[in-house]
A = this chain, B = another copy of it.
């Protein structure tokens, strides 16, 4: 379901596009929110076309098909945004590692936590680069100037907050390890 919605959203914001274009936009804009590769996108567009949510507007060179959103598609998108209660299921390998890290010895735990912090910092830089690019490209005259902007802001805040957490956790593990070595269990 959500893949459809993401595609309808991109098509609405960018105007008529081919599957290839949409796959690109997935990589460069929605990626921090939802992921999908071309092998998922092409069949989904075909199904959406069968369901009347999108339509082939034109067929360009090398079999390129240009899709546009139909009124039904627009209604579906709005309905989902307004009425669908987003599922709360989370599945994050990063969070799972952080969950399990106390099973390791302090030294090993530090290795893992530092790697998590590095990944977090890398992720933060990516989002910051994205923001800069977006600021440069963003057209306030365009009807959907804020498209993706709130989500990007959320991503940036969470990424900063992740790095802070990693720092504090590393400090905590170091403190406990030090206490454990210096004075054995001062309970």
- Per-residue CB proximity of A141-172 to B under 8 Å, as 1/0? 10011111111011101100110110011001
Report the copy number of this chain in the oligomer: 2
Q: Is A12 positioned at the interface, with any CB of B under 8 Å from its CB? A: yes
Partner of A95, one of B33, B91, B93: B33
> Does the CB pair A108–B92 fall under 8 Å?
no
The reply to whether A96 and B33 contact each other, CB–CB distance below 8 Å, is yes
Task: Please give me the residue from chain B that is nearest to A115 by CB atom.
Answer: B85
Contact of A108 among B32, B81, B144, B149 (CB under 8 A): B81
A86 contacts partner chain B, Cβ-Cβ < 8 Å? yes
- Asked if A129 lies at the interface with its beta carbon under 8 angstroms from chain B, I say no
Q: A39 contacts which chain B residues (CB < 8 A)?
A: none
Given A78-B108, A96-B6, A104-B78: A32 in contact with B90 (beta carbons within 8 A): yes
Cross-chain contact A2 with B162 (CB below 8 angstroms): no
Question: For A123, what are the chain B residues with a Cβ–Cβ distance below 8 Å?
Answer: 88
Count, chain A residues at interface, CB 8 A: 68
Contact in complex: B35, A95 (CB < 8 Å): no
Minimal beta-carbon separation of A159 from chain B (angstroms): 10
Q: In chain A, residues 33-67, which have Cβ atoms closer than 8 Å to a Cβ of chain B?
A: 33-35
Of B87, B116, B147, B153, which one neighbours A103 at CB under 8 angstroms?
B147
4 new A-B contacts, CB < 8 A, other than A33-B90, A102-B150, are A81-B101, A82-B108, A86-B96, A153-B168
Residues of A within 8 A of B (CB): 2, 5-6, 9, 12-13, 30, 32-35, 77-78, 81-82, 84-104, 108, 111-113, 115-116, 119, 123, 140-141, 144-151, 153-155, 157-158, 161-162, 164-165, 168-169, 172, 176, 187
